[in-house]
Amino acid sequence: MQLPSHSHKNRFLIPFFGLTVVLLVSLAPPTSSCTEQEKSSLIKFLSGLWKDGGLTVSWRSDTDCCSWEGITCSLNRAVTDVSLASQGLEGSISPFLGNLTSLLRLNLSRNSLSGGLPLELVSSSSIIVLDVSFNRLTGGLHKLPSSTPARPLQVLNISSNLLTGPFPSTIWKTMNNLIALNASNNRFTGAIPTYFCNGSPSLVVLELSFNKLSGSIPPGLGGCSMLTVLRGGYNNLSGTLPDELSNATSLECLSFPNNYLQGVLDSACIFSLRNLRTIDLGGNYFNGRIPDSVGQLKRLEKFQLGHNNLS
């Protein structure tokens, strides 16, 4: 006697479901396209380009900007993603992109964009992933007022540009959510900020190779308990490997080749970094013995200490 009652239920369920859909659709707010303000911010970005890689074909102001090439919107039609990597774009990055208040990810990697990196983007209160790597950006990173509240930025890739100047420490104090910073292959000068892991306890990747950084490796990096990749090769760094680094026990890659680092490699420090897969300290002025503890690093795959004064 179960069967008839089931089919009886289903006859009611189907029309009821249909009615619910009709109700939901008619109750939904009339936001069927992106706002004029968001559209105008994107158009301002477009007008800052002198080569737009053919974007104007789809970026027509009489159409919904959520349908434009490279643009993704949320369900309520707010722009969340601008993905324009490898589009042959030339020109500058408009600060007006910072007016897209729901923007989560901006990827302009592998273009030929020049000019500065607008502070509005680095200090945005919505962006979590910002990738402007492989462009021709110039100028420096701007200072932020120390009163700036914590920023949501998690991934910042500014590598392979022509950026100069020091890393202002104030900027990192507000980056409490930073997971990966790739600033390699630029022209940054000055010291590595001491502040990194006080501000960004969640830092996993810190890549600073191929710059002009000087001074020593800050002991504070030892406080980066999540740090797995630490790279700073091909700079002008001096001093010793700080003992405090032995506290960064998540480290898998420790790479500082071709600097002016010196001193003895501490056996206990190396021993506590049990997760190391890569040690590259070649081309420095380290002296003394190669620590025995290296033999106990079970995961070690790459071990480069050439061109030092080791015995």
Contacts with ligand NAG by CB under 6 A lie at 85, 95-96, 98-99, 107, 109, 120, 129, 131, 133, 155, 157, 159-160, 180, 182, 184-185, 205, 207, 212, 214-215, 222, 229, 236, 238, 243-244, 246-247
Residue 138 Cα distances to 105, 115, 159, 227, 284, angstroms: 22, 5, 12, 28, 30
Residue 47 tokens, joined: 């007008």
**Smallest separation, CB 67 to ligand NAG (Å):** 20
Compare residues 69 and 244 and give the one whose CB is closer to ligand NAG.
244
**Smallest separation, CB 47 to ligand NAG (Å):** 13
**Smallest separation, CB 236 to ligand NAG (Å):** 4
Residue 1 Cα distances to 6, 12, 13, 14, angstroms: 9, 18, 19, 22
- Contacts with 220 (C-beta within 8 Å, 6 or more apart), sequence order: 194, 195, 196, 197, 198, 244
**Smallest separation, CB 81 to ligand NAG (Å):** 10
Single out the residue of 234, 195, 201 nearest to residue 218, CA to CA: 195
Compare residues 66 and 155 and give the one whose CB is closer to ligand NAG.
155
**Smallest separation, CB 212 to ligand NAG (Å):** 5
Compare residues 11 and 35 and give the one whose CB is closer to ligand NAG.
35
Compare residues 243 and 292 and give the one whose CB is closer to ligand NAG.
243
- The answer to whether the CB of 260 falls within 8 A of the CB of 233 is no
Compare residues 260 and 303 and give the one whose CB is closer to ligand NAG.
260
* C-alpha–C-alpha distance, residues 174 and 171, integer Å: 6
Q: How many CA atoms lie within 13 A of 239 on its CB side?
A: 14
Compare residues 159 and 258 and give the one whose CB is closer to ligand NAG.
159
**Smallest separation, CB 92 to ligand NAG (Å):** 13
**Smallest separation, CB 82 to ligand NAG (Å):** 11
Residue 263 tokens, joined: 């001193």
| 114-132 burial: b if 16+ Cβ within 10 Å, else e | beebbebbbbbebbbbbbb
**Smallest separation, CB 133 to ligand NAG (Å):** 5
* C-alpha–C-alpha distance, residues 130 and 105, integer Å: 6
- The answer to whether the CB of 179 falls within 8 A of the CB of 156 is no
Compare residues 20 and 86 and give the one whose CB is closer to ligand NAG.
86
Q: Which residue is nearest to ligand NAG (CB)?
A: 157
